[in-house]
Structures are given as C-alpha cells and as structure tokens.
Amino acid sequence: MMIAVPGVLDPGSLARCRALIDTADWTDGNETSGHQSALAKRNRQLPEDGAAAREAGNLILDALSHSPLFVAAALPLKVYPPLFNLYGEGEAFDTHVDNAIRIRRGSDFRIRSDLSATLFLTDPGDYDGGELVVDDHLGTHAVKLPAGDMLLYPASSLHRVQPVTRGARLCSFFWIQSMVRDDGARSTLFDLDSAIQTIAADRGQADPAIIRLTGVYHNLLRRWAEV
C-alpha cells in the first residue's frame, strides 16, 4: 500500500524544522548507505548523531504521533529516528530497495523495515526534477508532494529519486516497523478502519453495526499483530 499523508508538519513546525537543518553541516549521503545503495546514491545528508538531526527528528516523531492517518495506515510499532537528505542540481538516487533491517549506529536500536517514509520539506515549485519514483505491482508512480506532506510506501518497493535539474530538494526519510508485518493484511485493516470511520460519521459511534465492525477490526488486528 502506498499512501500520501498530508500536513504531517503544519507551517509552524515546518518552519522550525527548516530553521534547525538549513544551517547545519551536510556530509556525503553514502555515510549511511549499504553496498547496493552506495553505488546508486549521489546526495548529501545530515549526520544522524548531530544535534540538528536529533532535534528536527524529534519534532517529526511528535508530529507523526498526532497524525491519525499515519497511525491508521502504518500501525507503527517502531519508527527509525528521521534522517535528512539534500539533493542539489545533478544529484539523484538510482533504483534500489531499502535494507530489510536498519540498525542505528552506535546503539542496539534496530527495526525491520516494513514501510519507508519520505517527508517533503521543500515546495515543488522550488526545484525541478527530484521526483520520488516508486515501482509496485500497479505500475510506476512519480511523486512530488508539497512541503510538510509525506509519502508512505512498502520498504520492499523498488524506488529512486530522479535527478534534480534546478534548485534543491530537501526531505526527511525514515522507516517503520509495523505491528502488522504483511502489507496485504495492513491494507485490509486500513480499508476497514476507513470504512468504519466514514459510516460512523453518518450513523454515530454507538450504532450497533459500527460496534460490530469495530469488533471485526480489532479481532483481525489481534490475529495479525506482533507486539
């Protein structure tokens, strides 16, 4: 399942995030790359143990916890602390797949990467190129979202960042270990939850059918969840 999550960062939070990272020191993006990614990656990145990345990352984690759409779609168990990358003119990230296990350097924190997330921090009009291109069983999707919006997609997807031809593209990226490992099961739960919320808005949460459907949702979650 691939889904856009609008307004993860509101204008005030986006401005605070940009103030933290715009003046930070950027390094070669391959400092955190696996072998395959290092062959394909041409960008810059904030050191993940730096103060700017930690503070901006905590701001994003707090915003995610207040996003009902993110929680419903991802059913997050663990979230890798957000990282930040910058693509200038001529920089790109060729087709690759994310590592299955992500280990935070210098710690025992590790997650299984069920979902990848890209949070856009630059408005589309400020740069040309730089689309995030994701390949799945439905085809190829080129995505370029407004600043503050996020794309959530299976970490198993082949994806790439097109070369930037004007300006600069700034994003945060990270991975999520979901309580529900299987993407199909997670998609079913999301569709069911969305339908329940739509019907409840018309009938009210106390409607007997809503109560039964909510029970079905939680029984499926109980069957599939790993916690």
Secondary structure of residue 189 in the 3-state scheme: helix
**How is residue 187 written in tokens?**
């998609």
Cα–Cα distance between 129 and 169 in angstroms, integer?
A: 9
The per-residue pLDDT for 137 is 82
Segment 58-62 mean pLDDT = 98
Residue 107 CA: distances (Å) to CA of 2, 48, 50, 103, 205: 30, 12, 15, 8, 44
Return the CATH architecture of domain 3-178.
Sandwich (2.60)
| Residue of 17, 10, 118, 2 whose CA lies nearest to 67 | 10
Q: Which residues pair with 115 in a beta bridge?
A: 154, 176
Residue 93 predicted with pLDDT over 80: yes
**How is residue 17 written in tokens?**
């995030």
The per-residue pLDDT for 32 is 57
Question: Of all residues in the chain, what percent carry a pLDDT higher than 90?
Answer: 88
Secondary structure of residue 148 in the 3-state scheme: coil
Segment 119-143 mean pLDDT = 95
Cα–Cα distance between 104 and 111 in angstroms, integer?
A: 9
Task: Write down the CATH number for the domain with range 183-224.
Answer: 4.10.860
Higher model confidence: residue 20 or residue 39? Answer: 20
Question: For 28-58, what is each residue's pLDDT tens digit?
Answer: 876 655 555 556 789 999 999 899 999 999 9
The per-residue pLDDT for 13 is 98
Segment 204-218 mean pLDDT = 95
Report domain extents, the chain. Answer: 3-178, 183-224
Cα–Cα distance between 46 and 31 in angstroms, integer?
A: 10
Contact 20, 56 (CB under 8 A): yes
Cα–Cα distance between 75 and 69 in angstroms, integer?
A: 10
